Amino acid sequence: MLTIYGIKNCDTMQKAFKWLDAKKIKYEFHDYKEKGIDKAHLELWLKHLQLDKLVNIKSTTYRGLTEKEKASVSDKAKAIKLMMEHNSLIKRPVWDFGNGQFFLGWDEKALAELL
């Protein structure tokens, strides 16, 4: 089963929901603003996704970090800790296709090929 991870009110997430619904693709949604995200998920994602892509350095949350925190996002363990504390740092959406395949962000053409 397809699971997408993100924040319900995010504009990109809204595009994803509308697109999935229009294509009648079943999915589960994990809102990590409400449910949080654990270390195991982040470690799994980082086996498939690049750390420098998973951490959204364009986010308001990132801009609000201290210089020391910003510098730590290149260290996997420290970045995981920061993403658990500030889940808005995670780029959205994270797509888990349930078969060991993951995708990050919104690219309608790429997603159509994967689904």
Q: Which residues are catalytic?
A: 10
- The set of long-range contacts for 33-40, using a CB threshold of 8 Å and a minimum separation of 24, is 33/7, 33/8, 33/87, 33/88, 34/8, 36/84, 36/87, 37/5, 37/83, 37/84, 37/87, 37/90, 38/84, 39/80, 39/84
**Amino acid identity at 23:** K
